[in-house]
């Protein structure tokens, strides 16, 4: 038995069944590569689910964390505040879209950021209703689950969800849901199911993550801004997966030319260390009373040091432009693959920047989702030494999230492995 197989067996015995994992183990990693317990090399097109935008163990991030570790590792910001937290808040206030006074709070996970944004919106408006969108993913806490627009595995078996959470359609033009149709349904929801005067906030991903990597059309986000203003609702941008340079802008909302009232971020912000933030209009962020926000580990000094380094690296290495270049390269290769007989199961290639996916279908005319082909491609890629992730409400979308620092030759190698995996999976299913 290999070391990796032994570790997986130990995991099965010791770790909760609900904690989903893969057969790939990790012993060490560098930039866009990782090595398992047996020394086998993998190219990483998952980046810890868009966490390692600056790659595994970026030298500047590691140096910043090491320097912070020499000073102190924890004080709890509520007990003894520190300069790094304040400096990061100042930088996020300046960096997020919107020409208005802003403030920031730091937390630990994306779900915490979402929860606190909802608390701020409710405290500010005095209302309790929240509108989210089909296919959304906003975390695994109780409120996060309620906001999610995908039942399995996130809501299944967990009972009643918090009340006054409503879902409107998200535009999926590949499946016939246009921006206009989605907005019409949202307005119908506000006439038929919830009084707009009871809605505290709308929360939306500018590019859906778990839902299938659907970019929200600019016109859709612009109309959400108008509706929020019309009814005095708070507009919350969930940039947890799409933010921190991933789409070719620091924040994906920038592509639409509008600003949300509150921005939730996490994942790439900490460069591999757990950190999240809510940044937004000062009067909304300040609505909760003193002591109403926070957490023991919120804004941990080590993670804050990493985040300040991440922002430096993104600026110094021009990673937003690099994300756009990576995305163009990926889309060109995938579009070419889709034009071959082996790629006939690819129904659509889509994404923004280096947040790209391809959707698998059994028939391009009916666009029937093909989850089996998706699973086979992910498995074939893993067997060849490439880490890929699936997503989508139907489990039929392969998503690509390489680090923005990936070397050109490693990116090319990984795309070659995708081409081989797609061809092998197609042959495997045809023979079955």
Per-residue pLDDT of the chain (432 residues), as tens digits, is 899 999 999 999 999 999 999 889 999 999 999 999 999 999 999 999 999 999 999 999 999 999 999 999 999 999 999 999 999 999 999 999 999 999 999 999 999 999 999 999 999 999 999 999 999 999 999 999 999 998 888 888 898 889 999 999 999 999 999 999 999 999 999 999 999 999 999 999 999 999 999 999 999 999 999 999 999 999 999 999 999 999 999 999 999 999 999 999 999 999 999 999 999 999 999 999 999 999 999 999 999 999 999 999 999 999 999 999 999 999 999 999 999 999 999 999 999 999 999 999 999 999 999 999 999 999 999 999 999 999 999 999 999 999 999 999 999 999 999 999 999 999 987 876
DSSP 270: G
Per-residue confidence (pLDDT) for residue 22, from 0 to 100: 86
DSSP per residue, 301-368: HHHHHHHHHHHHHHHHTTHHHHHHHHHHHHHHHHHHHHTSGGGTTEEEEEEETTEEEEEEEEETTTTE
Per-residue confidence (pLDDT) for residue 175, from 0 to 100: 92
Q: What does the alpha-carbon distance between residue 182 and residue 127 come to, in Å, rounded to a whole number?
A: 24
Residue 233: both structure tokens together: 């609702």
- Its sign, for the CA torsion 341, 347, 352, 354, is negative
Q: What does the alpha-carbon distance between residue 314 and residue 293 come to, in Å, rounded to a whole number?
A: 29
- CB-based contacts of 197: which residues, under 8 Å, 6+ apart? 127, 231
Per-residue confidence (pLDDT) for residue 151, from 0 to 100: 87
Measure CA 274 to chain center. Answer: 14
Place of tokens 């839902």: 211
Residue 14: both structure tokens together: 């010791």
Phi, psi of 172 (to 5 degrees): -130, 80
Partners of residue 102 on adjacent β-strands = 281
Per-residue confidence (pLDDT) for residue 267, from 0 to 100: 98
Partners of residue 41 on adjacent β-strands = 35
Q: How many residues are listed for the chain in this entry?
A: 432
> Taking the CB of residue 86, how many other CB atoms lie within 10 A of it?
14
Global confidence as pTM: 0.97
Per-residue confidence (pLDDT) for residue 382, from 0 to 100: 97
Per-residue confidence (pLDDT) for residue 1, from 0 to 100: 87
Give 382's Cβ-side CA count (13 Å radius). 16
Q: For strand 355-363 and strand 346-352, is the pairing parallel, antiparallel, or unpaired?
A: antiparallel
Per-residue confidence (pLDDT) for residue 318, from 0 to 100: 98
Q: How far is CA 288 from CA 42, 70, 121, 123, 248, in A?
A: 46, 35, 9, 6, 34
- Reported as a single tens digit per residue, the pLDDT across 3-43 is 999 999 999 999 999 999 988 999 999 999 999 999 999 99
Asked whether 122 and 200 are in contact (CB, 8 A), the reply is yes
Task: In the chain, count H helices and then E strands.
Answer: 13, 16
Q: What does the alpha-carbon distance between residue 58 and residue 317 come to, in Å, rounded to a whole number?
A: 12
Per-residue confidence (pLDDT) for residue 51, from 0 to 100: 98
Residue 320: both structure tokens together: 């937003």
Architecture of domain 3-57+318-431: Alpha-Beta Complex (3.90)
Per-residue confidence (pLDDT) for residue 23, from 0 to 100: 87
Indicate the CATH number of 72-316 among 3.40.50.2000, 3.40.50.300, 1.10.8.60, 3.40.640.10. Answer: 3.40.640.10
Strands (E), 373-432: 386-387, 389-391, 397-400
DSSP per residue, 60-101: HHHHHHHHHHHH-S---TTTS--HHHHHHHHHHHHHSS-SS-
Domain locations in the chain?
3-57+318-431, 72-316
Residue 37: both structure tokens together: 């317990």
């Amino acid at each position: 038995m290999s070391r990796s197989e032994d570790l997986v067996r130990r995991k099965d015995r010791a770790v909760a069944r609900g904690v989903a994992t893969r057969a790939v183990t990790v012993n060490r990693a560098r930039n866009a590569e990782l090595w398992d317990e047996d020394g086998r090399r993998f190219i990483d097109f998952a980046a810890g689910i868009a966490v390692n935008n600056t790659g595994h163990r970026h030298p500047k991030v590691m140096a910043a964390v090491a320097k912070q570790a020499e000073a102190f590792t924890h004080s709890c910001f509520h007990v003894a505040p520190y300069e790094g937290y304040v400096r990061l808040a100042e930088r996020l206030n300046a960096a997020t879209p919107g020409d208005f006074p802003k403030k920031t709070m730091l937390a630990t996970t994306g779900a915490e950021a979402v929860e606190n944004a909802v608390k701020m919106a409710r405290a500010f408006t005095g209302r309790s209703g929240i509108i989210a969108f089909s296919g959304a993913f906003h975390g695994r806490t109780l409120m996060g689950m309620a906001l999610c627009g995908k039942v399995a595995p996130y809501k299944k078996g967990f009972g009643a969800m918090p009340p006054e959470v409503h879902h409107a359609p998200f535009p999926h033009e590949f499946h016939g849901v246009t921006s206009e149709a989605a907005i019409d349904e949202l307005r119908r929801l506000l006439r038929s199911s919830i009084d707009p005067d009871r809605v505290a906030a709308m929360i939306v991903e500018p590019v859906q993550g778990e839902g299938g990597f659907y970019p929200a059309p600019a016109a859709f986000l612009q109309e959400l801004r108008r509706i929020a203003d019309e009814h005095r609702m708070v507009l919350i941008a969930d940039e947890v997966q799409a933010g921190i340079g991933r789409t070719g802008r620091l924040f994906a909302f920038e592509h639409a030319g509008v600003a949300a009232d509150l921005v939730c971020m996490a994942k790439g912000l900490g460069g591999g260390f757990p950190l999240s933030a809510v940044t937004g209009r000062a009067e909304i962020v300040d609505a909760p009373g003193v002591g109403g926000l926070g957490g023991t580990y919120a804004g941990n000094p080590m993670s804050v040091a990493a985040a300040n380094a991440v922002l430096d690296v993104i600026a110094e290495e021009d990673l937003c432009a690099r994300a756009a270049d990576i995305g163009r390269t990926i889309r060109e290769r995938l579009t070419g693959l889709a034009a071959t007989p082996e790629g006939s199961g690819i129904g659509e290639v889509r994404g923004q920047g280096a947040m790209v996916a391809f959707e698998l279908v059994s028939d391009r005319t009916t666009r029937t989702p093909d989850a089996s082909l998706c699973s086979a491609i992910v498995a074939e890629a893993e067997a060849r030494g490439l880490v890929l992730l699936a997503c989508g409400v139907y489990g039929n979308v392969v998503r690509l999230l390489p680090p923005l620092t990936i070397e050109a030759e490693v990116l090319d190698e990984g795309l070659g492995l995708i081409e081989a995996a797609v061809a092998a999976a197609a042959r495997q299913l045809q023979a079955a």
